[in-house]
Chain A
Amino acid sequence: MLFNSLRYVIFLPIVVTLYFSLPRRWRNLMLLIASYYFYMCWKPEYIVLIVASTVVDYVAGLKMGATDDRRLRRRYLIMSLVMNLGLLFTFKYFNFFNASLRSILDHFHIPYGFEGLHVLLPVGISFYTFQTLSYTIEVFRGHQKPERNFLTFALYVSFFPQLVAGPIERSVNLLPQFYREHRFQIDRAVSGLRLIMWGMFKKVVIADRVAVVVNTVYNDPYSYHGVAYLFATVLFAFQIYCDFSGYSDIAIGSARILGFDLMLNFDRPYYAKSIAEFWKRWHISLSTWFRDYLYISLGGNRVVRWRWYMNLFLTFVISGLWHGANWTFVIWGALNGFYLIAEIVFARPQKWLLNRLGIEHHQWRYKIPAVVWTFSLTCLAWIFFRANTVHDAFHIVAHLGDGVPSFFKSLLHGDLAVVSGVLKPLGLSRMDLFVVLAMIAVMEAVHFLQRDHRLGARLNGWPRPVRWAAYYAVLAFTLFFGAFNHSQQFIYFQF
């Protein structure tokens, strides 16, 4: 079930009504049934995978909790890792590695006949497997008591707002919330609905509109040139942000109405002044997952310098692979790892230079160029993330500057025929272009107001007519300018 569908608009109020109407002891069962239904709307048989993952991790947790023998506990942890990573490998990575192996063997003229598995990637598999893994790892580390109630644990794995695309919740945060009695609260409902509305705005007004240009260029890159690549890549940066953060907003908003608090997943990432900061603001639930369970397990920064760099690099490469079974994602991860290492290596000279220039804390002279520089690096990496093949990605990178100076020259001279000649093949009318740019500006204005995370509180302080006018405006823009007739699936569903 898609969040941006009529089905969800009907589903959510029914779930909320049932949840608050039922006696407390039936509520979790109802939520579990609703969550399974939510998932089964896509492909009913794949619910078996969630149930299998749930059962194995439930048992692993109980077994680990029942013994102090570290070796035995490790064995149960390995059982959980094998189960979850095995599922991931089979459904997500097997065909990728199989195809890679075949191309290597082809290169050496060694016959290899196995075509691969004919399976569909289960929606959300990367998310729920990582969520349950976090539970078993925490139990193994002794930070989390084993959950004895199977129903509660099953709900933790499959809680519908964040089941298919996160945020990847930690058991220490989410599990205790299933034991609390949630009362319907108007403030929470209003704030949840506000978040859902904002998420929908980002998704259907910006992400889905921008998708037309991005798909046009990236699905047929050899028919376009520099300006189109540049334009599509910058738009993709906004598309993926609006798509994914929009999803997270709807997830957090839906959970909030029900009385649950999910973690913040995006914190205005394109305001980051460095790549390190970007990764503290982008897909926070995944970044912290990799930090806590992979990077730190590898030794983090408490090792010799080259190992530290290796740990960082490896973490990002694996994070890239998590996003998709394609070398494009691996390169994307590697590129981000490289950026981060370069930042560490050049941190001292950079600090020295900024001190000498006296601009380190200067809003305009340092912060804005730093934000622009970070955004540019991120966009460069996004090319690999979005391109269909590595070859496409390198072609785009190699021709990114082609025709750009002459385009801007035409723009400066007001030669609109050339501008329109470039924009027309991208599938964007002047009206679409205006709407997209205006809405991105509106979103960034809201981000600016949200910089102290108190926009919600400030909104509540406004007189009702003004507040409602703002709601009506967002609602009207979403409904009238949303790309509903060619709605796209959420990008992160494929991960």
Chain B
Amino acid sequence: MPDDVRLFLRKLLIFSLPVWLYVAVVAAVDPYDALGTGLVGDEIKLQTAYKLNYALWKLARYRRDPRPLILLGDSRMMELPADSVTARAGMPCANLAYGGGSLREAIDTFWYATGRTRLREVCFGVGTTVFNDSERKDRVSEARACLRNPLLYLININVVRSTAMILTALVTGQEYHIGVPTMTPEQFWQHQLGRTARAAYTAYRYPRKYLDELSVVADYCRRNDIRLTFVVFPRHRDLRRLAAEMGLAEQEKRLREDLAALGEVFDLDYDNAITRDRSRFRDPFHFKESVVTIVLDSVWGDDRRWVRVVGDGRPGGGTNHG
């Protein structure tokens, strides 16, 4: 081998040493447990990696332990404990909802799950912010790519960030509180109403495209005997009022009707004692534990007191008995 080549290869090897070191560190931490090489426990990972990318975290686990009942949606659906659903539904449940989730992500997750196991029930959490053509967030295709290709996992920005945070936490003992608001509850309430909700509702577009994709999902469910349900989560009336002020009431009604043509719709988002009671909410979007029990009993139990059932209760029904 010529001297020049030998010298170049030596330089290249030295140059690549940090890269190999990085690979070794990420493999040892494996923040999302996608490689199966991690040496770090879940506690610190839940504080960091989980919060940075819910989709990658949950899909990596679902890949190892697929379940026939899945929950899809955003942070409100995340509130439903999978164990409680399992107990009520009588079959193992996986909560595959992601904070700030989009319908794009929910639909992609559904197809991912169908590729891992035979599904028996799917429940979509419905909200105006999720069922919205403007919401293009897509962490699922990124997560799926990472799970398919370890090289993409190694260079994923959330893997890098999580690894750095986990190492910092291990060395310094630092705790992370990602996603925990630093405002007072009242300030946060107003922030969610004035900033978050307004931005989402300003950009709202009726999800025509996504409903077409959902009808394909519904067809698949019908053919494969999978129960398909939609839960319209309760919002506090401040938020319902804002949506109405921004001219979304008609579109929200239409959405319920369109969904009723695809599956069972459980509507808790109307003027009732829950939506009027501020003590049942952490902020205008997110309900507290007492509402979680109501949702669970409504969808997987016999208690329909709070639920306005849209449609005839059969997939593809569509008649409003509200």
The interface of chain A, by Cβ under 8 A from chain B, is 6, 20, 183-186, 189, 216, 223, 416-418, 420-422, 424-427, 429, 468, 471-472, 479-482, 484-486
B155 touches A418 (CB 8 A): no
B142 touches A485 (CB 8 A): yes
Stretch from B3-11, B91-99, B221-229, B251-259 forming part of the interface with A: B3-11
B160 touches A425 (CB 8 A): no
B5 touches A479 (CB 8 A): no
Min distance, Cβ B49 to any Cβ of chain A, angstroms: 16
Report the bound CA distance from A183 to B4 in whole Å. 9
A417 touches B195 (CB 8 A): yes
Partner of A416, one of B11, B146, B199: B199
Task: Knowing that A186-B7, A223-B133, A484-B145 touch, tell me 9 more A-B residue pairs with CB under 8 angstroms.
Answer: A6-B151, A421-B203, A424-B135, A426-B136, A427-B136, A468-B15, A480-B155, A480-B160, A484-B155
Report the bound CA distance from A183 to B133 in whole Å. 57
A421 touches B4 (CB 8 A): no
B18 touches A424 (CB 8 A): no
Report the bound CA distance from A429 to B160 in whole Å. 19
Report the bound CA distance from A13 to B33 in whole Å. 32
A–B complex contacts, Cβ < 8 Å, 28 sampled: A6-B151, A20-B2, A183-B4, A184-B2, A184-B5, A186-B4, A186-B8, A223-B133, A416-B195, A416-B199, A417-B195, A417-B198, A418-B202, A420-B199, A420-B203, A421-B198, A421-B199, A421-B202, A421-B203, A422-B203, A424-B136, A426-B136, A427-B138, A471-B15, A480-B157, A481-B157, A485-B146, A486-B141
Report the bound CA distance from A471 to B14 in whole Å. 13
Min distance, Cβ B17 to any Cβ of chain A, angstroms: 11
B137 at the binding interface (Cβ < 8 Å): yes
B155 touches A184 (CB 8 A): no
Binding site secondary structure of chain B? helix
**Closest chain B residue to A471 by CB distance?**
B15
Report the bound CA distance from A420 to B198 in whole Å. 10
- Chain B residues contacting A426 (CB-CB under 8 Å) are 136
Decide yes or no: A425 and B141 within 8 Å by CB, A417-B195, A479-B155 being known contacts.
no
Within 8 A of A (CB), among B155-189: 155-157, 160
Report the bound CA distance from A427 to B138 in whole Å. 9
- Chain B residues contacting A472 (CB-CB under 8 Å) are 18
Report the bound CA distance from A472 to B19 in whole Å. 9
- Chain A residues contacting B205 (CB-CB under 8 Å) are 223, 425
B152 at the binding interface (Cβ < 8 Å): yes
Decide yes or no: A216 and B136 within 8 Å by CB, A184-B5, A425-B203 being known contacts.
yes
A484 touches B152 (CB 8 A): yes
Q: How many A-B residue pairs have CB under 8 A?
A: 69
Partner of A425, one of B136, B194, B198: B136
- Chain A residues contacting B18 (CB-CB under 8 Å) are 472
B134 at the binding interface (Cβ < 8 Å): yes
A425 touches B195 (CB 8 A): no
- Chain A residues contacting B136 (CB-CB under 8 Å) are 216, 424-427
A424 touches B141 (CB 8 A): no
Report the bound CA distance from A283 to B155 in whole Å. 32
Min distance, Cβ A21 to any Cβ of chain B, angstroms: 9
Min distance, Cβ A201 to any Cβ of chain B, angstroms: 14
A429 touches B195 (CB 8 A): no
- Chain B residues contacting A418 (CB-CB under 8 Å) are 199, 202
**Closest chain B residue to A420 by CB distance?**
B199
A425 touches B133 (CB 8 A): yes
A485 touches B152 (CB 8 A): yes
- Chain A residues contacting B145 (CB-CB under 8 Å) are 484-485
The interface of chain B, by Cβ under 8 A from chain A, is 2, 4-5, 7-8, 11, 15, 18, 133-138, 141-142, 145-146, 151-152, 155-157, 160, 194-195, 198-200, 202-203, 205
B4 touches A424 (CB 8 A): no
User: Top 9 closest A-B pairs, CB basis?
Assistant: A421-B202, A485-B145, A425-B134, A427-B136, A420-B199, A417-B199, A421-B203, A417-B198, A479-B155
Partner of A485, one of B7, B141, B195: B141
**Closest chain A residue to B133 by CB distance?**
A425
Report the bound CA distance from A37 to B141 in whole Å. 31
Min distance, Cβ A244 to any Cβ of chain B, angstroms: 24
A417 touches B202 (CB 8 A): yes
Report the bound CA distance from A475 to B126 in whole Å. 41
- Chain B residues contacting A481 (CB-CB under 8 Å) are 157
Most chain B beta-carbon contacts within 10 A, residue among A223, A427, A481, A485: A485
Partner of B134, one of A20, A189, A424, A486: A424
Partner of A189, one of B8, B141, B146: B8
Min distance, Cβ A247 to any Cβ of chain B, angstroms: 21
**Closest chain A residue to B209 by CB distance?**
A220
Min distance, Cβ A351 to any Cβ of chain B, angstroms: 48
- Chain A residues contacting B151 (CB-CB under 8 Å) are 6
- Chain B residues contacting A471 (CB-CB under 8 Å) are 15
Min distance, Cβ B158 to any Cβ of chain A, angstroms: 10
Decide yes or no: A184 and B4 within 8 Å by CB, A216-B136, A425-B133, A485-B152 being known contacts.
yes
Report the bound CA distance from A6 to B15 in whole Å. 20
Min distance, Cβ B215 to any Cβ of chain A, angstroms: 19
Report the bound CA distance from A351 to B15 in whole Å. 53
- Chain A residues contacting B155 (CB-CB under 8 Å) are 479-480, 482, 484
Min distance, Cβ B53 to any Cβ of chain A, angstroms: 12
- Chain B residues contacting A183 (CB-CB under 8 Å) are 2, 4
- Chain A residues contacting B200 (CB-CB under 8 Å) are 424
- Chain B residues contacting A185 (CB-CB under 8 Å) are 4
- Chain A residues contacting B194 (CB-CB under 8 Å) are 417
Report the bound CA distance from A429 to B198 in whole Å. 17
Report the bound CA distance from A422 to B204 in whole Å. 10
Report the bound CA distance from A484 to B151 in whole Å. 10
Min distance, Cβ B179 to any Cβ of chain A, angstroms: 14
- Chain B residues contacting A184 (CB-CB under 8 Å) are 2, 4-5, 8
Min distance, Cβ B145 to any Cβ of chain A, angstroms: 4
**Closest chain B residue to A478 by CB distance?**
B155
**Closest chain A residue to B137 by CB distance?**
A429
Most chain B beta-carbon contacts within 10 A, residue among A421, A481, A486: A421
**Closest chain B residue to A418 by CB distance?**
B202
Decide yes or no: A424 and B7 within 8 Å by CB, A480-B160, A484-B152, A485-B145 being known contacts.
no
**Closest chain B residue to A220 by CB distance?**
B209
- Chain B residues contacting A20 (CB-CB under 8 Å) are 2, 5
Min distance, Cβ B284 to any Cβ of chain A, angstroms: 15
**Closest chain A residue to B202 by CB distance?**
A421
Report the bound CA distance from A425 to B134 in whole Å. 4
- Chain B residues contacting A485 (CB-CB under 8 Å) are 141-142, 145-146, 152
Report the bound CA distance from A417 to B4 in whole Å. 59
- Chain A residues contacting B202 (CB-CB under 8 Å) are 417-418, 420-421
Partner of B203, one of A186, A424, A429: A424
Report the bound CA distance from A472 to B22 in whole Å. 12
